[in-house]
Amino acid sequence: PNDRAFAASRKPLVAEFRFRGNTVFVIGNHFNSKGGDGYVFGQVQPPTFGTETKRILQANVVRQFVEEIHAVDPQAYVVVAGDLNDFAFSAPLRALTGPDNPLVNLAEELLPEGEIYSYIYEGNSQVLDHILVSRPLFERSEPTVRFVHRYAEYLYEERHSDHDPILARFRLE
């Protein structure tokens, strides 16, 4: 989008797919970095999250786009995924998920707490990478999700990322 929320930042990539007669919109994201924020368990408490404002703006733009899709088709299957650079309980994620918002966080809904992490920073397991889906897709597709713990726990030179991939599967009839 040309929205100011994405100025000097990575833009979302949107694709429309058709599977077995079902249309699925996928919105790939890499929200603004947390670089410069305070540490959750650092010396300064409560920590400051100066970069959060931009991620809130980005989340609101993505939410508006999802709402536009649902205005045309309230039963539309939508996936919002990627490195959202924030926690499930954060304001940017709350702008997308929750009872009054259009999306469901697959990991939060389907996985045990100890398995929900994609990144380890200073010894703290965190989840910054998310797959959020529209309620119709969540309710009708028997989704499964898992983190493939391949990179976050292991520090080796050849790794492709410092984040673990997250994998979701859906049954579309």
Beta bridge partners of 28: 13, 81
Which domain does 79 fall in, by range?
Answer: 4-169
pLDDT the model gives residue 92: 95
Q: Could you tell me the pTM of the whole model?
A: 0.88
pLDDT band per the 50, 70, 90 thresholds, residue 41: confident
pLDDT value for 2: 82
Q: What is the pLDDT of residue 169?
A: 97
pLDDT in tens, 96-130: 997 888 899 999 999 888 788 677 666 777 778 89
CB 132 within 8 A of CB 80: yes
CATH no. for residue 49?
3.60.10.10
Structure-model confidence comparison of residues 80 and 33, the more confident one: 80
Number of domains in the chain: 1
Q: In which element (H, E) is residue 57 found?
A: helix 52-72
Q: What is the pLDDT of residue 156?
A: 61
Those residues with Cβ within 8 angstroms of residue 22's Cβ, 6 or more apart along the chain or in another chain: 77, 172, 173
- With bands split at pLDDT 50, 70 and 90, how would you rate the model's confidence at 163? low
Average pLDDT of the chain? Answer: 87
Residues 54-88 pLDDT 10s: 999 999 999 999 999 999 999 999 999 999 989 88
Residue 152: predicted pLDDT:
57
Residue 20, helix vs strand vs coil: coil
What's the CA gap between 49 and 31, in Å, rounded?
14
